[in-house]
Amino acid sequence: MHGIVIFGTNYGSTQKYARRVADRLGFECIDYHWADKDRLNKYDVIVYGGGLYAGRTVGLAKTLRKITDIDSKHIFIFTVGLADPLVEKNVQNIRESLKRQIPKNAYREDRIFHFRGGINYNSLNTKHKFMMATLNMILKRMPKEKQTDETKAMIDTYKGEVEFIDYNSIDPLCESVLGLNQE
Ligand SMILES: Cc1cc2nc3c(=O)[nH]c(=O)nc-3n(C[C@H](O)[C@H](O)[C@H](O)COP(=O)(O)O)c2cc1C
């Protein structure tokens, strides 16, 4: 099996997961900025991990556009966000948004995974601080019954620092990729 792990990150949580996944699978691991067409198309298994920002997955759409024959590849995707993936509604929201970002033939429910990252408000760049402030204002005005776990997580961590990285959560993804050998 010839595979690669590619990651899109702003503050490093996704990179940490990506390195773990790559170590486990014995795959090369690179930032999506380095994933040019020639390099990408050499592999038959592509694991893409991206941090979530306002529902979008960093670098994912851009990277998938470089794959010339998606149907001939095994594509696995993982997202890293603050929202707890044990809450079904959060997963549904992330997946709905993924469907809008990537081609139909790259979207396979059983090959998509969700991990939890972290945030340190003080390290955010100006654009992200502004986005968080706007989001926080909108969410705070939202009636409590309309707030989801995802929105609550954003409000609770506003201006703070949290870290939810859990390397055990990569097991199902790694098993699924390794399972290709048995197919
Ligand atoms: C501006 C902004 C928007 C975010 N939007 C989401 C979101 O839509 N869903 C989510 O679960 N987490 C969201 N997060 C949290 C990040 O996904 C989380 O910090 C993640 O660990 C970032 O990964 P990275 O460190 O690899 O960039 C957001 C964070 C920021 C700063």
- The fold of the 3-118+163-182 domain, in CATH, is Rossmann fold (3.40.50)
Instruction: Assess whether pLDDT exceeds 90 at residue 147.
Output: no
Instruction: Assess whether pLDDT exceeds 90 at residue 150.
Output: no
111 in ligand 1 pocket by Cβ < 6 Å? Answer: no
Encode pLDDT of 39-95 as tens digits.
Answer: 999 999 999 999 999 899 999 999 999 999 999 999 999 999 998 999 998 999 999
Q: Give the residue-averaged pLDDT of 21-50.
A: 97
Q: What's the confidence (pLDDT) of residue 158?
A: 86
For the chain, the structural domain boundaries read 3-118+163-182
Q: Give the residue-averaged pLDDT of 149-177.
A: 89
Q: What is the mean pLDDT of the chain?
A: 93
Nearest ligand 1 atom, CA 124 = 31
Residue nearest to atom 3 of ligand 1 (CA): 53
pLDDT > 70: percent of the chain: 99
85 in ligand 1 pocket by Cβ < 6 Å? Answer: no
Q: What's the confidence (pLDDT) of residue 152?
A: 78
Q: Which residues pair with 162 in a beta bridge?
A: 119
Instruction: Assess whether pLDDT exceeds 90 at residue 140.
Output: no
Q: Give the residue-averaged pLDDT of 136-158.
A: 81
The model's pTM is: 0.95
Angle between helices 126-141 and 149-157 (to 10 degrees): 120
Q: What's the confidence (pLDDT) of residue 27?
A: 97
Instruction: Assess whether pLDDT exceeds 80 at residue 182.
Output: no
Encode pLDDT of 91-109 as tens digits.
Answer: 999 999 999 999 999 999 9
Residue nearest to atom 29 of ligand 1 (CA): 53
pLDDT band at residue 157 using 50, 70 and 90 as cut-offs: confident
